Structure formats: C-alpha cells, structure tokens
Chains A and B, each alone.
Chain A
C-alpha cells in the first residue's frame, strides 16, 4: 500500500494545473459552438480521449492521469468537455467491436466533437428491462429500415450520430434478437423532440424513427449480437470518473461553509450552530470516504484488476451520497437553497452534471444519477447476484424463458 502519487503523476498534475490556469475558458462557455471550441482545445492539449489508444487519435494515458485531469478541472470549475457518451463508451465500443472502416470514419470526429453522439437504448416500455426493446431494424441487404421510438436520449437535440439497439429477429428470445448499429440522426426518418427535465432545461429528448435508414456497413459486430456488445462496454470508464466528481463535491462544501458563515440564526452564524456542525461534519466524513473509495478503484484499474461488478458498488455509493449531500445543503441553506439564479453570497456552483447552476440545480440533478446507467435498485440486484452470489429473484420473464 502506498497512496502517494508517483513522481510522474505529481509532475503531470503540475503540468495540467498550469495548462488549465493559462487556458481555462474565462468567459462564458454556453453555446454549442463555444463548448465545441473549448472541447477541441482540451483535446489538442491531450486531455480528452486520454484512455483511447494512440492509433485511434487518443492519448494512451493511464486512468490515474485521466482522473488527475478531471480532478484539476473540478478544482478550477472548468467546464467539462462534451460528447461524454461518445468518448466514454460509444467510441470504445467501436474500438473493441467495430470494423476498420468504422474506426476510420467515426473515431477522430468523435474525439474532436466535430460530430456529437447519442445513445439510443431506452424506450418508453424498455428502461431497466432494456432487452425488452421493440424498435425494429429490418434487414434490407445493404441497409436496415428502422421503425420505433427511443426516449430519454441525452444530447439528442444536438446529436449527429447515435448508437442504436434495435430488434432484428422478432422470433428469437429477447436477449438474442437485438443488433447494434450506428444511426445517422440528420435524416428525414429521424425526428427528435426535446423533453424538458425537472431542472427546466432540455438536455434529453424523445427520438422517433419512421423508415429511417441505417447502413449495413454501420452494423457493430454480427447481426443479433447487439446485447452482448452493449454489455461489454457499459460503464467503460466509470471508475476513473469518480475522483473528479468528489472534488466537485468538495468545492461545493467550501462554498456551503462560506454560506453558513453569512447566514445567521439566534444572533450567530449558522456555522456555530451545534446541529449544523454535526451534520456538516458527517457529510464531510462521507465525502472523504467517497474520495478514498475513488482512489481504491483507480488503484485497481492501474493494477489492471478490472473492477467488474464491483464498479456497481462505486456507482451506487457516490450517486446515493450525492442525493443525501445536496439534500443536506438545501436544508441548511433554507429558502436560499431554492434560488434559481445566483446571488453574491450563494455563488453558482459546479453541479457535476455538465449543467451549471445554483444549489437548486445541483439538488435537482442529484436525482438523476440513481436512475440512469442502471438505477440503484438494478445496481443492488447486480451486487447481490454477481458479487455476493445470492440467488436470483423469481421473475415472470425468467419463468417464461
């Protein structure tokens, strides 16, 4: 056990910090073009696609180095890069399962955010039970004809391409008849309708596909192999992301402490209130433990022990913590916690969601993490079955199968 960073990682951190201090966007990074420009700059500095092999335009860095970049960005409150789903798992899916042609055509433009990607998995009636999806892709020889509806598609309104799971064999068992194919989003058969989220913004959407066309050459892997493919790359870089998240929480903690010095109760600052102190102390203890846990996952990745199902524990841990944490912050801040535009004493905070905003934004966003990428309940099922080896539950679909 040695939790000191290596000399190399320390030097890398200094280099990253220096680069960010000189280059971090100071003005607004709000419009898509501004965000793309910032992304591009990060990419050219070597801070996007860090885990991707060099031959595909990546930087062949270690998970620790990626974590350092995210950590330093969180410290400075620098806006994150975009195309997260693409770079986090769609690209890796293409790298692992794609053809040479697909790699040539898609990867570089994904890295540079020249093309934005979305994930077309969930459907109105296929959420946690994703394998029950109904969108059909009919084999037409050189292309597939796609009909159906997707929902909760993040970045849908700005996406150029999507990775699609669709049924290609209606007669096979539900996990067996699904294929994975890339879909061009800018075509007449694809209609994207933004959905408004509880934060008020519309970062996700519904996608309707009516005789949309997906090319045969864009099929990933074999026909009807889609489920397997989706399984191998879900949560590709989950472990390496958590350190940066924890740093965002820590930055928010300092802001919360500042606020409790301003707010007064009974003639003294809230920070001197014993009940508030006890709760802040507990929250900080939990926050630190999330940080230690993040380091432990990074160490496992570094030693190339794949975290596997254990990554479910990490995800469950930090998303559930995030909810408790912002609930506490809003309780302490009282009515101020509900402000939707910042006032001086209660600054904008880094919401760790890609959507900047106030405490209220962070509080609202904290509800999402325990739903997407496998809800907390699904994570607990996975931990129970695959880590603890508990018996599987009796489920109607398994009885039928």
Chain B
C-alpha cells in the first residue's frame, strides 16, 4: 500500500507547475477574458506538444496510455493556474470515443485530439438540469439516411470551440450517444455568460439536426452506463481541478497572513486568522486524499471506484468553496477587488462545483450505494 506519488508522477507534476507558472500566469488568464473564444490556440498546441492532451489516450492512437492519477495531477495544477480552455471536456470526450467508439471513429478523433488538432465536449445536461443520464430529454428520430436530433442541451462546456459534440438522446431503443458536428445545420449555439470568465458554457439547441447513420457512439440504447462512467470520471477530474484552486487560495492566504500587519503585528499571529488557515489546510489535505484515492480507484478498477468518485466530488466541492472563500476573508478588502487574483480561483472552484454532478447528485449516489 503506497499513497505517495512515484518519481515519474512527481516529475510530471513539477513540470506542469513550471510550465503553467510561466505560460498561464494570472495576466494570461485575464487577457483571455475578453477573447470571444476564451482560449489560446498557441497554448493548446503547446500543451499538445507536452503530451498532456494524449496523456491518457492509448498509445496506438497517439497517446501515452497513462491513467487517471496522472490526469488528476495535471488537472490539479491547471486548477491552481485557473487554466482557461477546453482541456478536460476534450479529454473526457476522447475517453468516451476510446471506450465506445468504432475503430474508424477512434482513428478519426483520438490522434487529432492528441496532436491538438481537435477539441471535443460532452453535452450532459438537458433543460431539467438533471445529472442522471437517463433524464435526457433530447430525442433522436430515425430518417432514411440517419437521424435527426431535437432538444436543448444546457451549459455545455466549450461547445463553441469544439470540433465534435457528444450528444446523448433518447431513441426507441433507449439512451444513445451521437457524435455531432457543432457547425451542422439545425444547431444553434448560444454562449451563457457565467461569473468565471475563463469557463465558457454554451447552450446548444438542436432543431431536427441531421446526423449520419455512422454517427452513433456505441450501440443504440447503450449510452446510459457509458455516460454514468464518464460523469464519474469527469467528477474526479473536476475535483482535482478544484483541489488545485483551493491550494492556490490557501498559499495566497498564508503568504498574505505572514506579511500583512495590523495592530502592530502580522495578522497570521492572530488566532482567528491562524486557525482559519489551519482549517483550510485540513480541508486541502483531506481533498488531496479524496481526489487521489478516487483517481487511483478508477485506474485500478477497485470495487469502490464508483463510490470514491462521488465521495471526491461531493467532499471537494464543499471543501474548495470553503477554502477559497476563507482566503478572501483572510485578505480583507483587497480580496474583494477585481484586480487581486483570488477571485480567479474562487470562481473556478464554484464553476466546477456544479458540473459533472453537483453535491446533491453525488451525495444521493453515495447513499444509494451504502444504504440499499
């Protein structure tokens, strides 16, 4: 039993930190706020070159075949940098294609994702905002040549830059997953402005949008378990990113508490502040345990992998919100300003809290497993 990172894993983490510190500074993030796409193609190509996009994809398709632990290490560092871009939606969608795709679909998309030539995303939510895959209301009707999809997908991350959209829809056979070209006829994309300006969410309306017969990902009626698995994986990744955001806020709070003086002494010498910082560290450490246990459990196909994913998402969602919020409190007025960087991470944590199943969804998922 060993809970520590291997030296390769540690190396990956360090090099990710180094790269992001240099190339994704808070100023970089701020510059992209006003960009209509919200991300930088140069940065995308750079992280492709670093091998991050193909990190977890199979070697046969241009990836490195590493696992969720390594992916979580990267995502933690990205959360720490408030990285702006469609990294996680793309990798998650690529995982879906890897898991369920036909050989031709894998050949078409996986190498392109690994080289940074394609972006992708999954449209989990319908209008009812119910995370249970079976709650999808979008419908697919069979036509002579293929299918038409109708419905409204809400809050789809980075759909406006995606080259392919994974859309779950109900068919007579049950829930089915389709690969959809976001620029096809019958689709309307509408960005939804949210408080984290570096997280881009898009509403996608499908009005009898035609898709080809070979656009099914996996068999008809087979999407339920696949989507549930993707949601869990997505949840662990989001938890890792929230952990990174929380770590950054903790570091900033502790750093500030050491130098800011009031009443003739550093504010960190006041117990009210010091104890807050201690509680924040406790939450960050527990979140670390939760994230990496869950990531390992997915890689190892452990018996409790599904439980652990929900535990990580539910726990870290609460913990990161608390840590980032308390960091603002420790800073006082400066923490409430637009110019100070704390809100980058505070908002990122909050944005992810509601994605890939919110706390309520995962708490219920936990209880269904342990209180049958």
Contact = CB atoms under 8 A, between A and B. Distances in A.
Interface string B152-166: 000000000000000
A381 B285 contact: no
B308 A288 contact: yes
B281 A383 contact: yes
B257 A390 contact: yes
Contacts of A372: none
Nearest to A277: B367
Contacts of B1: 2-6, 9, 64, 295, 298-299, 302
A180 interface: no
Contacts of B275: 377, 380-381, 384
Interface string B248-289: 000000100110000001101111011101110110011011
B138 interface: no
A289 B315 contact: yes
B340 interface: no
Interface in B1-41: 1-6, 9
B314 A295 contact: no
**Most central of B277, B286, B292, B365 by chain A CB within 10 Å:** B286
Nearest to B261: A391
Nearest to B251: A388
A142 interface: no
Given A380-B274, A380-B278, A285 B3 contact: no
Contact of A384 (B277, B297, B315): B277
Contacts of A64: 1
B199 interface: no
B364 interface: yes
B310 interface: yes
Contacts of B273: 390
Contacts of A389: 254, 258
Tell me what chain B mostly uses at the interface: helix, strand, loop, or mixed.
Answer: helix
B254 A390 contact: yes
A289 B258 CA distance: 30
Interface in A1-47: 1-6, 9
Given A9-B1, A299-B1, A391-B269, A380 B279 contact: yes
A253 B307 CA distance: 15
A278 to B, nearest CB: 6
A289 B281 contact: no
A1 B271 contact: no
A193 B319 CA distance: 45
A299 to B, nearest CB: 4
A302 B2 contact: yes
Contact of B363 (A282, A302, A393): A282
A274 to B, nearest CB: 9
Nearest to A256: B371
B131 interface: no
Interface residue tally of chain B, by bracket? Answer: 35 or more
B288 to A, nearest CB: 8
Given A286-B315, A317-B286, A391-B266, A299 B3 contact: yes
Contact of A390 (B9, B268, B297): B268
A313 B285 contact: yes
A293 B285 CA distance: 8
B69 interface: yes
A1 B269 contact: no
Given A271-B371, A383-B282, A388-B281, A295 B363 contact: no
Contacts of A387: 278, 281
Contact of B364 (A257, A278, A317): A278
Interface in B288-345: 288-290, 292-293, 296-297, 300, 302, 307-308, 310-311, 314-315, 318
B363 A1 contact: no
Contact of A281 (B274, B281, B364): B364
Nearest to B69: A1
Interface string A271-303: 100000110111011101110110110111011
B342 to A, nearest CB: 17
A282 B371 CA distance: 13
Contacts of B296: 1-3
Nearest to B5: A1
A399 interface: no
Interface string A148-184: 0000000000000000000000000000000000000
Given A286-B315, A302-B1, A390-B268, 13 more contacts: A3-B3, A4-B302, A271-B371, A278-B364, A285-B310, A285-B314, A293-B285, A296-B3, A303-B2, A317-B285, A384-B268, A389-B254, A390-B269
Interface of A: 1-6, 9, 64, 253, 257, 260, 271, 277-278, 280-282, 284-286, 288-290, 292-293, 295-296, 298-300, 302-303, 310, 313, 316-317, 377, 379-381, 383-385, 387-394
Interface of B: 1-6, 9, 69, 254, 257-258, 265-266, 268-271, 273-275, 277-279, 281-282, 285-286, 288-290, 292-293, 296-297, 300, 302, 307-308, 310-311, 314-315, 318, 359-360, 362-367, 370-371
Per CB-CB distance, the 9 closest pairs between chain A and chain B, nearest first, are A281-B363, A384-B274, A299-B3, A390-B268, A383-B278, A380-B278, A292-B289, A292-B293, A281-B367
